[in-house]
Structure 1
Amino acid sequence: MRHTCLFFHAHPDDEALLTAGTMAGLARRGHRVVLVLATAGERGLTSDALRGDGLGGVRREEAHASARILGCARVAFLGYADSGHTGAPAAPGGAQPFASADVAEAAARLAGILAEERADLLTVYDPAGGYGHPDHVQVHRVGYRAAHLAGTPVVLEATVDRTLLLRGLRAASWVHRFPPEFDRNAFRTAYGARSEITHRVPVKRHWRAKRASLAAHLSQARGGDSERTLAALGRLPGPAFRQVLGTEWYIQRGLPAGPVLRDPLATLAGTVATAARR
């Protein structure tokens, strides 16, 4: 059966980091994949040459390029402003920052797309918004409300196995100089605990699409004078890239205890028992 899967993200490039392999895999299996972005990411860190009012337009184009690589059938923007890491107030005459937007209003916008697409699956973020960005936390709130309004049957929280993340950051610090604003200790409470994760989706066979999706977000390769994590990941050799980014993790709330699932559509298809593999 062909399903429609809607991936809801805060900014362009979030899809590349968290869900690109899953998106490419579902598209290759013949499912309809839709990318919805709350903002254009106009306050993202970038090189000095790209700072200014035009960054949002650049990042919109990058989002479309990434979506084409992943096989998305549609890209939609909810039209909110990027709140930045601190949650920016609304600019006079400007769009409402997503983090401070009315949840019911934003959910209604997203629910309209879910209903129009007859989506079977929606991805959001975990309650912490991954690493705590205000717009990511809002994705969690708005996404769940929208799924309820539209009657979307499955909601998955895109996350990262925190145990593996902390190990990886510790190892990476020996060979990679993180930017000054990067606080490794903040990740001790970020993303999902291993005990919460219900889906561990293998995406190694889609590594080329995932790496090309990362590369499409060229504006996010540097922040000031520092190389950003997105660019460092994109430069990994193929075997290392597959090892580091070959799995994507999700949490489906309310599932009974059982083996971790490998297929994001397992609970839709009623194949939890056969789709589960440790």
Structure 2
Amino acid sequence: MTTTPLRLMAVHAHPDDESSKGAATTARYSAEGVEVLVVSCTGGERGSILNPSYGRDITDLDEMRQVRTVEMAEAAQALGVQHRWLGFVDSGLPEGDPLPPLPPGCFALVPLEEAAAPLVELVRDFRPHVITTYDPTGGYPHPDHIMTHRVAKEAFHAAGDSDRYRDRGQPWEPLKLYYNHDFSMNRIRSMHQAMLDAGLESPFGDWVESRAAREIPEREVTTRIACSDYFDARDGALRAHATQIDPDGFFFAIPRDLEIEMWPVEEYELAESRVATTTPEDDLFAGITGNEGLSA
């Protein structure tokens, strides 16, 4: 029996999410010969310019989509991964009290089966053994992140069912579903204290002190992936998203030697598994042989 390459699919809401959530993990697995596909559900059209040094504003959705398409290609190259768009339109982050309605036609308002159909097709085409995405809260309450969770979970369950999405390719059953934990409060508090102990100003102070942060529930961590050798690749991918990432800002405020010493891993929650595995894990493919789905 021939062993096929292992395959990992990371499902994200917007371009730049793949670089701030699980990026070093995907870079590591790609470097080790795993086929890695990053999926962006939306084009990030409604993202604001978050980099004060970017130099200009962009208000046109089509122009923003074009700019972020180029950024995403550069980020994928930095990580060494493949990339696909699902083609939905960014919902934006509603603000105010009460919150305004979401824009018509945006990703978060698309009926679930309609939104999941292209991802089911992509799963059946790429045939990932493992899928990663966000937990049911989205990691934070952005409507596109919550919708991404729903769509990825739907595809995980439906892609192997020949009676569902019949016009979307031959069934393929992924084996494990994980949730990213890159912005867990445990990590934030740990890095905040490490910065203070080193006599440095912490970028996490407002998060740690805020009531909202204290009320963020800590989800179970089942899997830690050692990936500090790939922090440079992650940082290169982050910098590729020049509209979103300030090179002198939050993501680069922690000295890399301190980060490697204190937190050299990326964390995940094993949400579902169709193979036997024992937690805690140090490998997203624990319990998977690579022969699944093959005939003898």
TM beyond 0.5:
yes
Q: Does the aligned pair in 2 maintain the 1:39–1:77 contact within 8 Å? A: yes
Q: 1 or 2 for the larger relative contact order (CA 8 Å, sep ≥6)?
A: 2
SS at match of 1:57: helix
TM-score, normalised by the number of residues in structure 1: 0.81
Q: Does 2:24 align with 1:21?
A: yes
**CA separation of 1:166/1:98 partners in 2, compared to 1, >3 Å: closer, same or farther?**
farther
**CA separation of 1:141/1:181 partners in 2, compared to 1, >3 Å: closer, same or farther?**
same
What's 1:205 paired with?
A: 229
What's 1:75 paired with?
A: 83
How many angstroms apart in 2 are the aligned matches of 1:170 and 1:111? Answer: 42
**CA separation of 1:252/1:212 partners in 2, compared to 1, >3 Å: closer, same or farther?**
same
What's 1:276 paired with?
A: none
Written as runs of structure 1 = structure 2, the 5 A alignment for 1:130-209 is 130-150=139-159, 151-160=173-182, 161-169=184-192, 175=201, 184-190=210-216, 192-193=218-219, 196-209=220-233
Q: Which has the larger radius of gyration?
A: 2
What's 1:111 paired with?
A: 120
Offset at 1:154?
1.2
* 1:97-145 CA-partner distances (Å, limit 9, x unpaired): 1112111111111010010111111111011111221111111111010
TM-score, normalised by the number of residues in structure 2: 0.76
Aligned match for 1:221, one of 232, 242, 245: 245
How many angstroms apart in 2 are the aligned matches of 1:122 and 1:128? Answer: 17
Moved over 6 A (4+): 170-174, 177-183
**CA separation of 1:144/1:51 partners in 2, compared to 1, >3 Å: closer, same or farther?**
same
SS at match of 2:257: helix
Query: Any stretches of 5+ residues in structure 1 without a counterpart?
Result: 271-278
How many angstroms apart in 1 are the aligned matches of 2:283 and 2:261? Answer: 19
Q: Does the aligned pair in 1 maintain the 2:188–2:204 contact within 8 Å? A: no
What's 2:67 paired with?
A: 58
Q: Does the aligned pair in 1 maintain the 2:192–2:205 contact within 8 Å? A: no
* 1:226-260 CA-partner distances (Å, limit 9, x unpaired): x88xx332354331343466321111125699542
* Structure number with higher helix proportion: 1
Q: Does the aligned pair in 2 maintain the 1:128–1:190 contact within 8 Å? A: no
Q: Does the aligned pair in 2 maintain the 1:5–1:122 contact within 8 Å? A: yes
Offset at 1:22?
0.7
RMSD over aligned Cα atoms? 2.9
What's 2:103 paired with?
A: 90
Q: Does the aligned pair in 2 maintain the 1:130–1:190 contact within 8 Å? A: no
Q: Which amino acid aligns with 1:252?
A: L
Count of aligned pairs: 257
SS at match of 1:111: helix
